[in-house]
Amino acid sequence: MKLYGTSLSPFVRKVLVVLAEKGVEVQHVPLRFHDPDPRFQAASPFGKIPALEDGDFRLADSSAIMHYLEGKHPEPALLPHDAKDIGRAVWFDKFGDTELFRC
């Protein structure tokens, strides 16, 4: 599994924390956004970081990647199952990525 994106990005750091908490081995490729690397471009069509490559599966966006990792490596669980709790968890994730990030 490869994670593209420098850890200067808070979005990349979010995914690195998820990978570390779940004990998933990853090859970190610390490139910057819009890097011309064709494998990165294939994983992130808009050139944003982070992007993930897992075999022939590619995915961009930190939240999408987080949900993918949660499904593939359910233990330890980092997301709740209860409807209200998952609603709140998604709210905090979006808040961190948007309102808080802008500050």
Ligand X SMILES: N[C@@H](CCC(=O)N[C@@H](CS)C(=O)NCC(=O)O)C(=O)O
Q: Which residues bind ligand X (CB under 6 A)?
A: 9, 11, 33, 47-50, 61-63, 97
Q: Do you find a cis peptide bond into 30, omega within 30 degrees of 0?
A: no
Q: Taking the complex as a whole, how short is the minimal distance between the CB of residue 53 and ligand X, in angstroms?
A: 15
Q: Which is nearer to ligand X, 75 or 98 (CB)?
A: 98
Distance between CA 8 and CA 70 in Å, rounded? 23
Q: Taking the complex as a whole, how short is the minimal distance between the CB of residue 91 and ligand X, in angstroms?
A: 15
Instruction: Using the structure block, give the residue that is written with the tokens 């979006």.
Output: 94
Q: Which is nearer to ligand X, 81 or 102 (CB)?
A: 102
Q: Which helix (H) or strand (E) holds 1?
A: none
